[in-house]
Amino acid sequence: MSRIAVIVVAVLALLGSAGRAASAQNSKPVNEQTVYEIAAHLRCVVCQSLSVADSPSEMATQMRAIIRERLAAGESPDAVQRYFVQRYGEWILLSPPRRGFNLLVWLLPLVAVAAGLAIVAILIARWTRRARGAAEPVVVDAAMSERIRREVERGS
Amino acid sequence: MKRLWRWLIPLAAVPVLALLAYGFRVSPRDIPSPLVGRPAPAFTLATLEGAPLGLETHRGKVVVVNFWASWCYPACYEEAPVLERNWRGYRERGVVVLGVDIQDKREAAQKFVGDFGLTFPVAQDLKGTVSVDYGVYGVPETFFLDRQGRIRVKHVGAVTDDVFRTTVDRLLAEASPQ
């Protein structure tokens, strides 16, 4: 009885290792650069303002392993990113996709810079106009030059 | 014209202040899970004793999946007795509590289970695949599944008696699948 059990276990172990070897052959070689690029776009969920690529936390390490595993199973980088978005929502993406309401995030800084430049341009135009006005020569008529001459003589 | 300009500059600060006031009031931890309303991801893990623990075997029951860790003090320590108490109170009525221990050491997890005398099945998610499948970003997080196996409520933070009872009672009151 126990011998049968031993044989069964041995056969199962052999089958198991054979299966593992087969699956290892099926898995595609994974480019670490691709893993890094996917991880760099994902927010580390247990950190403040860090990507999964940059965080040394265990959660991020596990996420990188999951990315690697999914790529090895033949998933495209886009599909791997979609998987994370499905689970965590768009929140997990460090840069929000450029569509819909999110466009506001991309456009508002440009609008602000344009408005700022416009204000600066208006102010500069106004200031230079005033400065030019101030620098205009004072018209001195005959009566005025007579008065200046008199006052200078009196002073000496 | 000049008077208008004098008012325009402080007025421009109003939307910025409003945005900041809104931003500082919302907790960045409250992120709505896209999984609520969707079928709960299936998983099979091994319990601390080595028995298989799968979601599939509990189809048709109201399932409470609780993600925790022994290092998660105090929230996980607060909710452990709550989960145990309610598991005992509800198990006869078709409710299952499953504990998933994440990012933890086996010995620490065993000590935690022993210290609190937890009797509901607890498994370790060693590779983090189940945690990511459920979109977990911290512990404790608890998912309440209806009898159809859909995630109905995601609770972030320690589960209280009140949260457990109101949620589970609501799910139990729903018609069971044919």
B142 touches chain A (CB under 8 A): no
The CA distance from B62 to B169, in Å, is 10
Q: How confident is the model at residue A18 (pLDDT cuts 50, 70, 90)?
A: very low
Residue that is written with structure tokens 């459920």 in the block:
B134
Position A132 scores a pLDDT of 67
Name B155's bridge partners: B142
Residue of A21 and B57 predicted with greater confidence:
B57
- Residues of chain A with Cβ-Cβ distance to B127 below 8 Å are 62, 65-66
Task: List residues bridging with B52 in a β-sheet.
Answer: B46
| Same-domain pairing of A72 and A127 | no
* Nearest-CB residue to B129 (from A59, A66, A85): A66
- Residue A21 confidence (pLDDT): 44
Q: What is the CATH number of the domain that holds A87?
A: 1.10.8.640
Q: Which of A78, A97, A116 is the last residue of a domain?
A: A97
**What's the confidence (pLDDT) of residue B40?**
96
* Averaged pLDDT score across all residues of chain A: 82
Q: What is the least distance, in Å, from the CA of A21 to any CA of chain B?
A: 20
Average the pLDDT over each of A16-25, A68-77, B32-41 and give the range with the smallest value: A16-25
The answer to whether B134 faces chain A, any CB pair under 8 Å, is yes
Q: Which of A70, A97, A124 is the last residue of a domain?
A: A97
Flag whether pLDDT at B19 surpasses 90: no
Q: How far is A89 from chain B (nearest CA, A)?
A: 6
Structure tokens at B28: 């960045």
- Pair B56, B43: CB distance under 8 Å: no
Using one digit for the tens of pLDDT, what is the confidence trace for A108-145? 899 999 999 999 999 999 888 876 666 666 778 888 88
Residues of B in contact with A87 (CB under 8 A): 34-35, 132-135
**CB within 8 Å: B33 and A89:** yes
Residue B106 has pLDDT above 90, yes or no: yes
Do A61 and A16 have their domain in common?
yes
Same-domain check for residues A64 and A133: no
Domain of A68, in residue numbers? 2-97
Count of domains forming chain A = 2
Contact A59 B31 (CB under 8 A): no
Do A65 and A106 share a domain, yes or no? Answer: no
Annotated domain spans of chain B: 32-173
Q: What is the structure's pLDDT at A130?
A: 72
Helix (H, G, I), strand (E, B) or coil at A108: helix
Q: Tell me: do A83 and A116 sit in the same domain.
A: no
pLDDT-derived band at A1, boundaries 50, 70, 90: very low
State both tokens at B73. 């003090």
- Count H helices, E strands: chain A? 6, 0
Nearest CA-CA partner of B64 in B117, B120, B109, B18: B120
Is B67:B139 a contact under the CB 8 Å cutoff? yes
Compute the average pLDDT of residues B75-103: 96
Contact B135 A59 (CB under 8 A): no
The pLDDT of residue B15 is above 60: yes
Query: At B142, phi and psi to the nearest 5?
Result: -130, 130
Query: Could you tell me if A128 and A145 lie in one domain?
Result: yes
Looking at the fold, whether A8 and A79 belong to one and the same domain comes out as yes
**pTM beyond cutoff 0.80:** no
**Which range among A43-52, A59-68, B153-162 shows the weakest confidence by mean pLDDT?**
A43-52
Predicted confidence (pLDDT) at residue A47 exceeds the cutoff of 70? yes
Q: Please check whether residues A123 and A51 belong to one and the same domain.
A: no
Q: A45, A55, A69, A126: best mutation site toward chain B, by most B Cβ within 10 Å?
A: A45
CA atoms of B19 and B9, how far apart (whole Å) = 17
Q: ipTM of this model?
A: 0.82
In this prediction, residues B115-138 reach a mean pLDDT of: 94
A46 → closest Cβ in B33, B133, B137? B137
Backbone angles phi, psi at B44, to 5 degrees: -135, 120
Q: What is the pLDDT of residues B143-153, one digit of tens each?
A: 999 999 999 99
Q: What percent of chain B has pLDDT over 70?
A: 96
- Distance CA(B17)–CA(B27), nearest Å, equals 17
Last residue of a domain, one of A97, A132, A147: A97
Question: A18 and A93: one domain?
Answer: yes
Query: What architecture is the B32-173 domain classified under in CATH?
Result: 3-Layer(aba) Sandwich (3.40)
Q: B74 preceded by cis ω (within 30°)? A: yes
In this structure, the answer to whether residues A128 and A68 fall within a common structural domain is: no
Q: Do both A83 and A125 map to the same domain? A: no
| Same domain? A72 vs A144 | no
Q: Do A89 and B31 touch (CB under 8 A)?
A: yes
